[in-house]
Amino acid sequence: MIGGGYEDVYSNPIINVPETFPNIFILRGHGPSFSTFWLSMYMGNYATGFPLLVSHFLYRLMALKWPYILAHFFKLLPIALAVTFLCGATWFTSTYVFMEQDPESTAFLQPIFNGEIYSPVIHSPQRGRLYVVCVYWTEGTFKGGRMKNFIALFLLFVVMFTAYVIIIVCCIAIVRFMSLGTMRLQKQLFKCLVYQTVIPLITAYFPVGICIFAPIVGFAWPPLAFIIPNICCIHPLFDGLVVMFT
């Protein structure tokens, strides 16, 4: 919840700008977040939302299948905090360690900063070292892969994939264990939980995922630098509307 509050209050008004270029992904910040460390903190905080989403479905499943456990549910708080920290630390490490610039990736940034490659965002060469960068291929698409940056992708993917697999399994189990009467009583709550899981996927994780993963296949569309931050900014609005109208 603290991470979510930080995301809504700070990160959304001062959103960081992801950009895609053929075989390259870069992320730049604004104001206080214009540093490798704070960009990595931003990514780490992004991942703390996954345990919160998962906990909603685990709680609902326990309430249906093992209601006697609910009295002890909050004893699992230390485990929940540890998992949340692990998710955040994984994405932080992915960004801070494996997306950190090295001489090779910095060399690939020079044409962007010099204006040889079009970018809708004005870049400052003096701050170039503060960007986080993924250069997936050094000799053209699917040639000369950089293992360091693929490890970064793997860490990002594992956290997201694991969370949504658990959510899907819980959804199937919840539907299976619901009686018709229970389903009628809890249909509204269950719909709300599903919407609150799907909407972040559409407004937060999927757009950023496009920017990070699409350059692997050589995809690049410069307007994403303007579109993605705006999509991410509207997430808190939709999150509240879901609760109001379901």
Domains parsed from the chain with CATH numbers: 2-245 (1.20.1070)
In this structure, what are the phi and psi dihedrals at residue 122, rounded to the nearest 5 degrees? -80, 125
pLDDT tens readout for residues 191-244: 777 777 777 777 777 888 888 899 999 988 888 888 887 777 776 677 666 666
Contacts of 237-243 with C-beta under 8 Å, sequence gap 24+, read: 238/199, 238/203, 239/196, 239/199, 239/200, 242/192, 242/195, 242/196, 242/199, 243/192, 243/196
Confidence of residue 98 (pLDDT cuts 50, 70, 90): very high
Intra-chain end-to-end CA distance of the chain, in Å: 22
Residue, of 183 and 198, whose pLDDT is higher = 198
User: Residues 6 or more apart from 186 whose CB is under 8 A from it?
Assistant: 60, 178
Q: How far is CA 25 from the centre of its chain?
A: 15
**CA angle 123-206-60, nearest 5°?**
140
> What is d(CA 84, CA 202) in angstroms, rounded to the nearest whole number?
21
pLDDT tens readout for residues 109-149: 888 888 888 888 888 777 777 889 999 999 989 999 999 99
Among 19-23, 67-71, 91-95, the least confident range: 67-71
pLDDT of residue 34: 66
Average pLDDT over residues 167-186: 74
Q: Is 74 helix (H, G, I), strand (E, B) or coil?
A: helix
CA dihedral 240, 42, 160, 172 (to 10 degrees): -20
Side-chain-side CA neighbours of residue 119 (13 Å): 25
pLDDT tens readout for residues 8-18: 555 555 567 88
Asked if residue 32 has pLDDT above 60, the reply is: no
| Strands across the sheet containing 17-21 | 17-21, 24-28, 132-135
pLDDT of residue 157: 93
Q: β-strand 17-21 against 132-135: which pairing, if any?
A: unpaired
